[in-house]
Structure 1
């Protein structure tokens, strides 16, 4: 349904209605909380506002996407060369050239077709049904038919269909992690909030596509479609451009330079030939030969295959690559922005401290595995002497609706993670939780409500079946309900509330979530029907505190250390509070530990990001390490700010709120287990285990991939340079061409496949994670590598041209001399391949057979070259001729000489670099 200009809505309402009382919101929206909208008014508003869906953004069709694969400077030259060659009747040459172009286009088209589904996933997320009041009648309608002013009813299991201002709630809790990044469910209320309240703290709002986990609620629709929070994220994703990877940028820049050089040299070659009296047709063929020779046709295939091998290696280390260039991007990453929950942490709440009887106990173990110990002052707890601790743990079991279950080798909980954590701590404390739950008869329960801030249960247990009330909740609230506390020896004594409050503040300052435990006094009779009244009488016994957090993964701690050692900055972005994020960051080693209560300039909140001037934000973000309570727009701003500082940014995420930042980042990394489809479709890589350690492993593999790509480029470009120089020198000197275009194609394609691609299987060099990330501004080829390309290109020119002329002087035909020149190129490439297995280390240091693929590649290339030289059908296809056995000796001699010359150059440069580094260290 399309809204015309004449029918644009006059009624408008921002989703920022959290600061208004309910009656004002209803008045403005002209609706009734008990009746909802009349059917005719709802239909009218649907016409005015349009459906509650996200707009689709137009994209290129399949045909246009395929055509755009040919939009590349080098492809223009190859396509033109193919056309000219075909017009000149050289159909073999034309077919091979165009075949290379077509294969590259197909590979690129397939990659692109799999990449751009993020917006469709977002649209699918909001397709659901909603329960509404229409004219006082309760009915179900498609969520797309919702309009501002509709009254929506929510219950456990519902997906919120639009942005709602809540008008009434009963124990309503909503999981907003996909939208805000908050790891805990949010308890909702209908009370108005201050205007400046951040989105993650707006307890009186329910946002589209979040999930109701428990309770019931009612709310009025204030925003639909693109005006919702998820709609704004949809717009951000649509507006976020695709980011070119460092590799694609450098290859594009390299291609532009190479295109200009090739066209210039081809033009000069053609002009010189015409000036010397050669025919235009011959000069066209010479110019085509130069162009074909200078273009590294095997480079696109080598890049694709090398990246694909990297994809396979990463998959074995729990990282699935969705976009091939992302493999290399990981290797150049300078900053990793990581989500906290589930990536750096276990995503399993764990009790770490218990305070009972005036004593603090530490609890070992992480996650839901009930293996761990209690210690006090570094000593194991003697349970016979700790009745207060046992009573505190028992209350956590009784006042609890969760279940601890074992699934194969893993432990999990059914129910609220906080309650599950208390069951695990009780198991570690020696309590038989299953037996207790089996023996207990629950008579009544008072569920947690935001108004009460506590939960209470009435249970009968034991031989006498005496009723015991157990209570847990917010510390201040529980202390207000208590008159006594349990001493270390188990006696009920007058409560010292100030001591408990101080301990709770200390634990909270360490980023722990603190809950207080209490029970009814011994011998106190509690009536089942007056549970709330009995709990609120102020006569409870305070049992202690249980403090918990989602602990860091041990392997993530090691991985963060390895990344920092490799010069990669790791930054934590979380929807949790700053104190929680800071505590985890200290445990992981992202920031140094500081005394509780002190400020840290390494922690930046969403509100601070919002108030920081645009021009000052990049430096502030670069300096900070932890970012807490950030909105989707702010996550996007963080990535953009780091990119402004010149960083190559990897960003992790799992929720809808992460999608724009994932797409903007140089490499977006989504969580495979808990991640939303939107996050996965916006990403370049998906972690199958949601573990930061897998990112570090992928970075290592990415560095290896870039090393191997660089080795291939350094190996293949001298051949292209040598072929171009041979053509130019021959034209300039007035000689016959030593190699023909079809022979150039034979050299380039066979050696690229049989020899060059073997470098893609080269193992990662030792110490790959000990070096800093590559400078993003560093060109694809450094001065040292350019020198090596020129050196080998010159050796190819001298060796091939020299033997070509020498063979003619010996009486060989031009065809035989050309066959010798082609074999010089191939043999030199074989020997040079061993030098390129490492750009700095020698073959002896690497091990001759550490990459068996190289050996097999050389064997295959030798067989192909013998076929080229001695098979009659190859003579007619590639204008070759057989040569006598003695001719192979000078060919092999040139190959061996080139190996030692390059090896000497490598040794001299390594010694020079090592001395310079030692001098710098000594000077510092």
Structure 2
């Protein structure tokens, strides 16, 4: 549950949704906690009893018998059940058994499908971290994530899943992968000293970490501020749970059809009964036998007119659809839900991991001033003059060396996605180069916006610098252009700035790279290394679209289905992806700020013209 500062009984009082506005010390005071010693075990137990477990509320799982009976909650099925009773009453045992067998087969097919889907979904519900390392009574201990309470101090390291929402009290080069929550494809940099406005977007709350996200690199300590249903992912779950369950178009149509059939059958049966009764009375037959004969004929006609095979045919058709969906790794929970896909006219899709690969890739390189596009197969296509091979090799060596990503024992690249992308492109474009041994570094931090590493090349020591283009260029006095080292004049600086700005406006994340050979008496560490650097080039990265997306989008358009993209990325990045896959087609891009300014009526009037919803 959430915490509003009253739990500690002191000031300042911080209400839910305001933790990012206040410093770490204020947050600790509000929750009566200590960054070094955490809560006491007794206090944690008291708060757990008060706030409840740190877990998302789940629906009570339907027992199998109720799931089976739910297959018969359909008007057409009820009509057929009446037909079973009438057939049995008439002595038509074979007819009643046949209809009953069809009903049971229909129910079993639907039950088996839903039961399998429920089991598959239960296996997928692993969103919460199973355990967390907390500080209680001044000692580190591992507890179940469900036992966390507001005020707990949780230790975070690279690879950890964040078990609750929290305010950072310490952060060392910490970056969190928040794609599952915000849609941002690259890890968000975190800063314990950062504060933000109340209405700032989740991705801009750099002092906060959120449940269901993961730590990509670095380490830190967080003060738990919200648990369970009161976390940001819990609010999303509440919104989903609040949506009423609606019948599908096919279910509504079958219900209407069933009622029409029932009314028609009853009307015809009543008319036949009336006619047969009138004839019996006119023929002089005994009234009792005449009425009985008329009723028998009317009921037989009613049973014969009911399409007892319709529910079974519908269920089998839907089951085939479910099997086709399963072959594409899609789990359909309710059998009738698969039918709604056929009536889809508008699809709202996430970007990260759905439209894109959720994997950063180097898409362009600026070698000196020579720009090249890096194609998906890592072939290079020059956008002007072809860069010199030695210049390209030096840029790739520097980008891969000034880098904390690495290959693990299985040969898999691990580390920050941006840095793994730099290693990947260097490995593919310069496979024979080996990163020289690192002997010193000046680590990256969010204020410096750069990192420097020192390497022993065998022929001497060299410092490689990587960071934001404006920051790197400000530290450079020279540039390497087509094999020559030239002074970095104001005119050249302006041209490089424009190149970087053009890439950034296209949604790329850019990093500039520079180097300097060190003198024998220079130290291998310290910010004094970052001077009189030589600019080498710029790397431009993007989370690329999946190869099959453009064709899938064209297929949707051909079928009359419109597609919109919803993402937590910045508008420029989203627009670049949308243009590449053919999504925009002259339509609009709106941001969260734009949406806040719209009334419901304005949104309803504009929604047909909007194709991208960005942060």
Q: Under a length normalisation based on structure 1, what TM-score does the superposition of the two structures give?
A: 0.60
Post-superposition Cα deviations, 1:638-658, rounded to whole Å, max 9, x if no partner, equal xxxxxxxxxxxxxxxxxxxxx
Match of 1:64 in 2: 66
Corresponding residue for residue 437 of structure 2: 441
- How far does the alpha carbon of each residue in 1:430-480 deviate from its partner, in whole angstroms, 9 at most, with x for none? x235x413xx22212344322332222111124x2x111111112222223
User: 1:229 is matched with which residue?
Assistant: 232
Cα distance, 1:117 vs structure 2: 7.0
Q: Which has the larger radius of gyration?
A: 1
* Equivalent of 1:372 in 358, 370, 379: 379
Per the alignment, residue 286 of structure 2 pairs with none
The 5 A counterparts of 1:474-485 are: 474-485=468-479
Q: CA deviation at 1:299?
A: 1.6
- Structure 1: stretches of 5+ with no match in the other structure: 594-600, 630-924
Contact 1:160/1:209 (CA < 8 Å) preserved in 2?
yes
| Map of 2:431 onto structure 1 | 432
Q: Deviations over 1:245-265 (max 9, x none)?
A: 332232222223222222222
Aligned partner (choices 514, 521, 532) of residue 518 of structure 1 = 514
Specify which of 587, 597, 602 is matched with residue 588 of structure 2: 602
**In 1: Cα distance, 2:122 partner to 2:238 partner:** 12
Tell me what 1:106 maps to.
Answer: 108
C-alpha distance 45-119 of structure 1, shift in aligned 2 (>3 A): farther
Equivalent pair of 2:170/2:221 in contact (CA under 8 Å): yes
By how many angstroms is 1:129 displaced? 1.8
Equivalent position of 2:415 in the other structure: 415
Displacement after TM superposition at 1:396 (Å): 1.1
- Work out the CA distance in 2 between the residues paired with 1:333 and 1:382: 49
The alpha-carbon distance between structure 1 residues 552 and 146, as it changes in their structure 2 partners (threshold 3 A), is closer
Q: Against the structure 1 CA distance between its residues 78 and 546, is the aligned structure 2 distance closer, same or farther, given a 3 Å change threshold?
A: same
- Equivalent pairs, count: 598
Quote how far apart the aligned CAs of 1:399 are. 1.3
Shift of 1:624: 0.2
Do the aligned partners of 1:122 and 1:234 also contact (CA within 8 Å) in 2? no
Shift of 1:618: 2.6
Aligned mates of 2:295, 2:117 — CA distance in 1: 41
Is 1:163 aligned to 2:165, yes or no? yes
Aligned to 1:838: none
Rounded to whole Å, the distance in 1 between the matches of 2:556 and 2:409 is 34
Which residue of 343, 353, 357 corresponds with 1:342? Answer: 353
Question: How is 1:192-591 mapped onto 2 (pairs within 5 angstroms)?
Answer: 192-277=195-280, 279-313=290-324, 323-359=334-370, 361-366=371-376, 369=377, 371-377=378-384, 381=386, 383=388, 387-403=390-406, 413-427=413-427, 429=429, 431-433=430-432, 435-437=433-435, 440-462=436-458, 464=459, 466-496=460-490, 497-521=493-517, 526-528=522-524, 530-535=525-530, 538-591=531-584
2: CA distance between counterparts of 1:344 and 1:412? 24
Counterparts of 1:268 and 1:219, CA distance in 2? 78
Quick one: distance in 2 between partners of 1:493 and 1:39? 63
- Counterpart CA distance in 2 for 1:414 and 1:136 is 33
Q: Aligned equivalents of 2:29 and 2:434: distance in 1? A: 52
> Residue 186 of structure 2 contacts residue 360 of structure 2 at CA under 8 Å; is this kept in 1?
no
* Deviation of 1:225 (Å): 1.6
How much does 1:220 deviate? 0.9
SS in 1 for 2:274: helix
Please identify which structure carries the higher strand content: 2
Q: Is the 8 A contact 1:511 1:582 kept in 2?
A: yes
Change (3 A) 1:323 1:43: closer
Q: Equivalents in 2 of 1:125, 1:203: separation in Å? A: 22
Tell me, in whole angstroms, the C-alpha distance in 2 between the residues paired with 1:553 and 1:127: 29
What's the RMSD between the two structures over aligned residues?
Answer: 3.1
Instruction: Rate the CA distance shift 1:526–1:255 in 2: closer, same or farther, 3 A.
Output: farther
Relative to structure 2, which stretch is displaced further, 316-325 or 210-219? 316-325
Contact 1:471 1:518 in 2 (8 A): yes
Provide structure 2 residue ranges, at least 5 long, that are not aligned to the other structure: 281-288
After superposition, the C-alpha distances for 1:383-410 in whole angstroms (9 at most, x for unaligned) are: 35xx544432221122123357999xxx
CA distance in 2, matches of 1:445, 1:203: 25
Tell me if structure 1 keeps the 8 A contact 2:165–2:209: yes
Q: Distance in 1 between matches of 2:365 and 2:63?
A: 61
| Offset, 1:569 | 0.9
Deviations 1:480-533 (A, max 9, x none): 3323222333214135433322221111111111111111247576422x2433
Match runs of 1:606-755 below 5 Å: 606-629=592-615
Give the conservation status (yes or no) of the 8 Å contact 2:453–2:464. Answer: yes
Give 1:303 deviation, angstroms. 1.9
Instruction: Name the CA distance, whole Å, in 1 between partners of 2:325 and 2:110.
Output: 21
Residue 242 of structure 1 deviates from its aligned partner by 3.3
Task: For residue 314 of structure 1, report the CA deviation from its aligned partner.
Answer: 5.2
Asked if 2 retains the 8 angstrom alpha-carbon contact of 1:8 and 1:49, the reply is: no
Tell me how far 1:420 sits from its aligned partner. Answer: 3.0
> What's the secondary structure of 2:16's corresponding residue?
coil
Deviation at 1:189, TM superposition (A): 0.7
Q: 2: distance between equivalents of 1:119 and 1:201?
A: 32
Query: Is the contact made by 1:15 and 1:163 (CA closer than 8 Å) also made in structure 2?
Result: no
Distance across 1 between alignment mates of 2:553 and 2:609: 17
* C-alpha contact (below 8 Å) 2:195/2:205 kept by paired residues: no
How far 1:122 sits from its partner (Å)? 8.5
Matched-pair contact (CA < 8 Å) for 2:368–2:535: no
Pair 312,25 (structure 1): closer, same or farther in 2 beyond 3 Å: closer
Q: Secondary structure at the match of 2:425?
A: helix
Offset of residue 311 of structure 1: 4.2
Question: 508-517 or 481-490, which moves further after superposition?
Answer: 481-490
**1:54 pairs with 2:53:** no
Secondary structure of 1:179's counterpart equals helix
Q: Which of the two has greater helix per residue?
A: 1
Give the structure 2 partner of residue 635 of structure 1.
Answer: none
SS at match of 2:403: coil
Aligned partners of 1:390 and 1:312: how far apart in 2?
A: 50
CA deviation after TM superposition for structure 1 residue 626, in Å: 0.8
Using the alignment, how far apart are the partners of 1:49 and 1:120 within structure 2?
A: 25
